[in-house]
Structure 1
Amino acid sequence: MSQNPMPPDNSDEQNLRRFLEEVFGGQLPPEALDGVDLSELARQANLPTDPNQLRAAAAQMQHLFDAGGEGPVNWKLGHDLARQTASGAVQIPGAPAVAGSPGDPSPTPQQIQDLREAGNIAALWLDPHVAVDMPAAALDVWSRGTWVHRTLPRWQSITEPVATYMSGAIGDALAAQMQQLPMELPGGDPRTMMERMGGTMFGVQFGHAIGSLAREESGTTDLSLPLGPDGVPALVAANVEDLIRDNELDPSAARIFLAAREIAHTALFAAVPWLPRQLFGAIEDYARGITLDLDALDEMVRGLDMSDPQAMAKAAPDGMFVFTRRESQERALEELATTLALVESWVDHVVSTSLEGKLPGLDAMREVVRRRRASGGPAEQMLASVVGIELRPRRVREALAWWDSVLATEGVEGRDRVWEHPDLLPTAEVLSGRPQAPRTEGESAEAAETAAKTDFDAELEKLLRGEGDADAPKEDEAGRVSGDDPGADGPGSGPGVGDDGDTPSTPAS
């Protein structure tokens, strides 16, 4: 510690000492800061010297550490931030402005009635055009805050595989930085505390992203993932109204169209239980072995403003999360992108088939949805870069053409039978080539056997009718086929059926 008795310096150092003691919850030993130049430490950490600012920063930092909770993501912080973002009550410094109309209004009785009626009509029109059952639950109508609350459990299962590795890597990088400080941190290994800080950073990032999506998504399946409760289709009333107004759509037609998409998604996920598992499994496969650029993270940590609890959000995620992908991760991303494209295109296919000629402006509404999915907001872009959830427009178009071809050759039952097993789904190579309907190995063998039986039966029937009798081969008195030359390499020259190849067959007397 500096021995300079000048009051300003002494006052600043006392304030800094109290700040560090409060941040560490009173666990800092009295001698821990002896010999430490706190002024230099404050300068490196961009800490303020004003006592009020220090007290506020200490209280906020301690609150964030205390609220860390279990797991790689601070979901308490994430949930609170998502809820506030969804309502428009908070704007993270440096983050893109959230979309949508102000606030988080509860659905009005009229909105609930209009959307539920639209859901009933959509289900009625969909039913004859799909081979899966319509959801038993009626269409639910939510606020943005309800969307956050009901989808958060699925977000946890989606994002935690990535965050588990990332928080460990962040903990290693931050701990390495802290070990360079001229002080010993309480609690032994600083990695644990740094992992909690990493969990806080993820809580801020995912919380803001989920809250932003709550202001944009029409329902629970817009990302072609089952985010809501199983078997329950739901629309966000305020976001539906925003979409109608911003794109000048016919209100009644748009409600039926959006309800049909939500119901079709929900019906598919309910009828195909392996599909959600495969989607989430591909995300986990992507997360496994993910490599973080620690040099970029180290650079970010050096400029981290420890006096500002929101500094973790200000640190741009693009600079923080720089990945190198292995071959196995690329395969997982390809599988995920292909499956998402197949889900999205199947829904587009059955909805357009079911609503064709019934709704005005159907093509315009389909284009609005395609454009929104292709561009994606900042939240969707973050999910694509961090978690791997990305819908590729070209692949969706290819998959839509493939579904068209399957419907033309196999009909509704054959088209929807594709979802019976993951092996029946086409690969990205199939989608980009000439579309053709899939067949299982058993179906292919059965088809070949049927063709062989058809040919044999046809030839037998011709013989029984005497067709081609003049040209048919005949046996002579010695049992040889007429026209055979015993010394020639022609039909009948070799051993007969059932012969061992050594002696010619002789007819029984």
Structure 2
Amino acid sequence: MSAQPAEGRPEPVDLLVDWDLAARTAAVVGRPGPQLPRAEAALVVADLRSAAHRAAPHVARVSGLSAPAGEGVLVVDRPGWARANTDAFRTLLAPVVAEAFERRDHRPGAAVTAVGSRVTAAEIGGLLGFLSGRVLGQYDAFGDGPGRLLLVAPNVVQVERELAVDPADFRLWVCLHEETHRVQFTANPWLAPHLVGQVRGLVGQLMVEPSQVAERLASVARNLPEVLRGGSSGSGAPLLDAVQTPEQRAGLARLTAVMSLLEGHADVVMDEVGPQVVPSVETIRSRFTKRRAGRGAVDQLLRRLLGLEAKMRQYADGARFVREVMARVGTDGFNRVWESPDTLPMPVEIADPVAWVRRVHG
């Protein structure tokens, strides 16, 4: 997994995190999920791929966004999802860590990096293992190469069973949300590089002191999964242990606003399409919402510690922003949000959509 530079020495990012260990740890921490006979598992994989393809024209029609055909749908298990994300995080962090190391007079000793890389890998792997049992799907726009639509088959099967909903309807419903994310990025090719730049800039600010590179990287990398999914900017969020200056907090707030937009827009499109193509959508939405709210005390504590409760608020905040803007200026007027980084909503505008309409539409 870890690339080697031309001179044969490991890259700085590989000195600080043992990425293979992180992926293996995630596979151990994350439970395997429902065990299906081989033939049934193959049918689930085929059905999810079919649902993803069927979702595409519906999302394009409702969103008003024109996107090229996808790079394919990758149906994965929990360890596969975790490994895809360790690869993406390594790609995301590599240039930032390399730059930080260039500011050092010398590389840290082998003994120090060997221990530190394993400790940090265990922390990242533990977090990814926890998340791997909860993610239904993801558009991976931040890895090395074309973006991929990932669908986590055991999680989809587990949730549809828990909710006692129609499997075909539920799988299409999930794919409508994830296909919207694919369209957001592929119809607007500037978006992924912009977000990568924002995240790398924030991480780079946290590595100003070369002597603290490993320590800062461990803190930031542990929270990158949640940052890329809209990490909280509220009190008690784990990332704020590392984000300290006003400039850093402002950068995190801008990133959070964009993630709220992306998640809220996907929910709005999914809800708009749903009644037309998913017969049992009202039952699915009702039971899914209750499931979010009805978790046990231990699980809710873990979600708060990881910042996942804040993510649930982002779905609601972003959806309210999208619906109010569309009510005022229509879908075409809303889609001006995708024109450039300058038309993305500012943090205060997520809570005040009229302010965004005034700024962008005059």
How high is the TM-score relative to the length of structure 1? 0.52
Distance (whole Å) between structure 2 residues aligned to residue 363 and residue 244 of structure 1:
12
Report the counterpart of residue 109 of structure 1 in structure 2.
42
2:29 corresponds to 1:85: no
Distance (whole Å) between structure 2 residues aligned to residue 142 and residue 73 of structure 1:
25
Distance (whole Å) between structure 2 residues aligned to residue 116 and residue 211 of structure 1:
24
Structure 1: gaps of 5 or more residues: 1-67, 92-97, 173-187, 298-317, 445-509
- Per-residue displacement from partner, 1:239-287 (whole Å, max 9, x unpaired)? 2111212333331221011111111111111112222223222322322
Query: Residue 234 of structure 1: SS of its match in structure 2?
Result: strand
Change over 3 Å in CA distance of 1:377–1:417 after alignment to 2: farther
2:140 corresponds to 1:140: no
Aligned counterpart in structure 2 of residue 288 of structure 1, from 204, 211, 225: 204
Distance (whole Å) between structure 2 residues aligned to residue 220 and residue 229 of structure 1:
16
Distance (whole Å) between structure 2 residues aligned to residue 126 and residue 433 of structure 1:
26
2:343 corresponds to 1:424: yes
Distance (whole Å) between structure 2 residues aligned to residue 333 and residue 257 of structure 1:
30
- The answer as to whether partners of 1:123 and 1:263 remain within 8 angstroms in 2 is yes
The one-letter code of the counterpart of 1:415 is F
Change over 3 Å in CA distance of 1:228–1:406 after alignment to 2: farther
Aligned counterpart in structure 2 of residue 363 of structure 1, from 263, 267, 285: 285
- The answer as to whether partners of 1:240 and 1:255 remain within 8 angstroms in 2 is yes
User: Which structure's CA Rg is the greater one?
Assistant: 1
Report the counterpart of residue 24 of structure 1 in structure 2.
none
2:170 corresponds to 1:237: no
The one-letter code of the counterpart of 2:11 is E
Distance (whole Å) between structure 1 residues aligned to residue 300 and residue 197 of structure 2:
23
Aligned counterpart in structure 2 of residue 275 of structure 1, from 169, 191, 197: 191
The one-letter code of the counterpart of 1:332 is G
Q: Give the Å deviation of 1:341.
A: 0.6
Change over 3 Å in CA distance of 1:396–1:262 after alignment to 2: closer
The one-letter code of the counterpart of 1:78 is W
The one-letter code of the counterpart of 1:101 is G
- Per-residue displacement from partner, 1:18-64 (whole Å, max 9, x unpaired)? xxxxxxxxxxxxxxxxxxxxxxxxxxxxxxxxxxxxxxxxxxxxxxx
Q: Give the Å deviation of 1:99.
A: 4.6
Aligned counterpart in structure 2 of residue 152 of structure 1, from 86, 89, 94: 86
The one-letter code of the counterpart of 2:74 is D
- The answer as to whether partners of 1:220 and 1:228 remain within 8 angstroms in 2 is no
Aligned counterpart in structure 2 of residue 72 of structure 1, from 6, 9, 13: 13
Report the counterpart of residue 127 of structure 2 in structure 1.
209
Query: Residue 151 of structure 2: SS of its match in structure 1?
Result: strand
Report the counterpart of residue 51 of structure 1 in structure 2.
none
The one-letter code of the counterpart of 2:46 is Q
Q: Give the Å deviation of 1:414.
A: 2.0
Report the counterpart of residue 228 of structure 2 in structure 1.
none
Query: Residue 257 of structure 2: SS of its match in structure 1?
Result: helix
2:333 corresponds to 1:414: yes
Query: Residue 217 of structure 1: SS of its match in structure 2?
Result: coil
Structure 2: gaps of 5 or more residues: 1-8, 216-236
Which structure's residues are more often helix, by fraction?
A: 2
Change over 3 Å in CA distance of 1:103–1:401 after alignment to 2: same
2:140 corresponds to 1:218: no
Query: Residue 233 of structure 1: SS of its match in structure 2?
Result: strand
Q: Give the Å deviation of 1:192.
A: 5.1
The one-letter code of the counterpart of 2:23 is A
Q: Give the Å deviation of 1:421.
A: 1.0
- The answer as to whether partners of 1:219 and 1:236 remain within 8 angstroms in 2 is yes
